Amino acid sequence: MSAGRDRTLRIALGIRRLGALGGLENLCLQVAAALMARGHELTIFTAGEPVAAPAKVVYLNDSVRAYTNHGRMEEFAAAFGQATGAGFDRVVAFQPMPADILVSADSLFDKPDTAFLKRYTPRFRTYSRLEAQCLAGDGGAYLIGLDDKQVKAFAAHYSLPANRCAVLPPTLDPGCRRPLDLSEAERRELRARFGVSQDRLVLLWIGLQPMTKGLDRLVDVLATMPEAELLVCGLAETARKVQPILRRAQRAGTAGRVHCLGFLRHDDERFFEVLRASDVLAHPARVETTGTVILEAIVNGLPAVTSELCGFSDHVRRANAGIVIDDPFDAEHFRRALVEVSAERARYGANGIAYGASEDLYQGVARAVEMIEAGRVPAA
């Protein structure tokens, strides 16, 4: 493939769903906008409900008739491969499917320690097959990952040479850094707006997948912290996925201290108001390749307590902007960390704001665009 910096390229991007607007979806849209700004002809192939996008969108809904998530993914991958078999200079996938380049926010699916019986489930067989078809062999896709541990796991499993994989720096949007030193009166006004008490410790959880991101863990911890309230950003109170968590809080007697705010876009001023009204970002995720919300919090002066399984937990350590809890997860350790960080909120917050001045935190999308244009990853 020839370099594309000096000519217009016809580029296909593939992602099964755009509507969820999680980290992967946002990354796809950011990359699409940057490629369009550089003058390339872009087509995004997706399925599901129509969404606003910065480029032409082709919906492959008619080809997606399976009844399971893995079945729909398999059919979408086949349809994407057929649709992009000719006419494009670059084919870029955001999930394992036929492509020149795979931009992956996921961890290795076919892990060596996967339980024997699990390997025979339809879900595992489908996703592991798609992963292998995309990456295995000399003719597999180039891999662009978001975390060093993630990429090393892929490289080891699929014997990827150094010239077939690369790690992006963080893909934080510079517009997501808006630190503001509020007076106590201003913070009290914001807390009143979100319905939390003025004299309580305010914890903030952000996410779309409550079990994966550990919201159930946090609700259990909340039951041992009568001095705290919890803001849940990303899920409305009526969302189906959050109902088991709310029932859990009801049984623990903490439902009145859990406030669901719904989904807030990262360019929405209310999102920054939530950050300013809170004392600590609590992110006890079970699985998290990166965790962009961690960076969004600390660069805005909100310290974080995270599990070490989050790829971006390393930034919390480097910035000294909170505490990282070792695996396996221990609820009491997490509670003590929340109390400790809240007591030193000003110091940890100032450290995070200073760390946010690093330009490396905002270069991920530009680097991805450079690799897509070149048709390869940089030589190691």
Same domain for 208 and 352: yes
Q: What CATH number corresponds to the domain at position 311?
A: 3.40.50.2000
Total domains in the fold of the chain = 2
Asked if residue 180 is part of any domain, the answer here is yes
Same domain for 331 and 185: yes
Same domain for 192 and 164: no
**Dist CA 127 CA 145 (whole Å):** 18
**Beta-carbon count within 10 A of 350 CB:** 16
Same domain for 293 and 223: yes
The helix or strand, by DSSP H or E, that contains position 203, with its residue range, turns out to be strand 201-206
**Dist CA 244 CA 251 (whole Å):** 11
The residues near 156 (Cβ < 8 Å, ≥ 6 apart) are none
Same domain for 264 and 180: yes
Asked if residue 5 is part of any domain, the answer here is no
Asked if residue 119 is part of any domain, the answer here is yes
Domain limits for position 46: 10-169+363-374
Same domain for 232 and 188: yes
**Dist CA 79 CA 98 (whole Å):** 10
Q: Is there a contact between 193 and 273 (Cβ–Cβ < 8 Å)?
A: yes
Q: Is there a contact between 172 and 293 (Cβ–Cβ < 8 Å)?
A: no
Asked if residue 380 is part of any domain, the answer here is no
Same domain for 213 and 148: no
Same domain for 330 and 222: yes
Asked if residue 279 is part of any domain, the answer here is yes
Please report, in tens digits, the pLDDT of each residue of the chain (380 residues total). Answer: 345 567 899 999 999 998 767 788 989 999 999 999 999 999 999 997 778 888 999 999 756 667 899 999 999 999 999 999 999 999 999 999 999 999 999 999 999 999 999 999 999 999 999 999 999 999 999 999 999 999 999 999 999 999 999 999 999 989 899 988 888 888 888 998 898 988 899 999 999 999 999 999 999 999 999 999 999 999 999 999 999 999 999 999 999 999 999 988 877 889 999 999 999 999 999 988 899 999 999 999 999 999 999 989 999 999 999 999 998 999 999 999 999 999 999 999 999 999 999 999 999 999 999 999 999 888 66
Asked if residue 1 is part of any domain, the answer here is no
Same domain for 265 and 133: no
